Amino acid sequence: MAVPNDTLQNFPTHFPLPQKEYVLRGEKHHGDFFTDNAAADWVMLKLKTAKSLADDGITAREYGGPDVSVITTTTGHDSWIKNLDDTDERNILRDFQPDAHVPGDHPTYRDQESGRRTRNVMECMEITLYLYDELGHQIAFIPLIKGEETWERQICYDVMDAMVPATVRCTRSSTLDRAPATRRPSSCRTSKR
């Protein structure tokens, strides 16, 4: 595993969640809102929006400026997620260069058959580990916690524990912490979608 770059070495290990955070959609008025609101510490963009910006040659730093951390997320419409493969996701991240990323979303719903839901949780975590292995030295990762059953969510917790130091974890105390160092869980393997 690569040693984190200066950005991650300086990434705080514990800090309060920002007072103001915004999720921007692709519409122009959302971008205008962000541009006009200098109080934002963080901004979250859907990966689809980040792709559009990257296609125009804009990086996260250029978009957010020097004082705003940019997080990207794969969460979104199922139709777009289903057409996104791990290589596309990796390439968008390499081009856009966000500070943090919520990777590998797969549709996981209560009404799904248990086996399908479990496969989706596993696929989400496999993509998370793949992207972490590829880019964990450049980008902090915020794994999704998916699943209806405790044991399904435990798969996600095990992956979070295996992803250090480039992972941040949301805790009940409303802070972000790095996950503790542990070995990779045997229940997940790195693979492509």
Contacts for 182 with CB less than 8 Å, ≥ 6 apart: 161, 162, 164
Q: Do the domain assignments include residue 183? A: no
- Kindly provide the residue ranges of all beta strands, DSSP E only, lying in 116-170, ordered along the sequence: 140-141, 168-170
Tokens 């856009």, located at residue? 96
Global confidence as pTM: 0.69
Q: How far apart are CA 56 and CA 78, in angstroms?
A: 25
Q: Considering its fold, how many domains does the chain have in total?
A: 1
pLDDT at 94: 97
Q: Do the domain assignments include residue 184? A: no
pLDDT at 173: 32
Domain housing 34: 6-178
SS3 57: coil
Q: Backbone phi, then psi, for 72, in 5-degree steps?
A: -110, 155
pLDDT at 165: 52
Q: What does the DSSP assignment read for 61-128?
A: HHHH-TT-EEEEE--S-HHHHHT--HHHHHHHHHHH--SEEE-------TTS-HHHHHHHHHHHHHHH
pLDDT at 67: 83
pLDDT at 26: 54
- CATH, residue 79: 3.20.20.105
Q: Do the domain assignments include residue 191? A: no
pLDDT at 12: 44
Q: Do the domain assignments include residue 189? A: no
pLDDT at 52: 92
pLDDT at 92: 97
Side chain identity, residue 189: R
pLDDT at 162: 84
Along the 193 residues of the chain, how does pLDDT read in single tens digits?
343 444 444 444 444 444 444 445 555 655 566 566 666 788 899 999 999 999 999 999 998 888 889 999 998 888 888 888 899 999 999 999 999 999 988 888 899 999 999 999 999 999 999 999 999 889 998 888 898 899 899 999 888 888 865 455 443 333 333 343 333 344 443 333 3
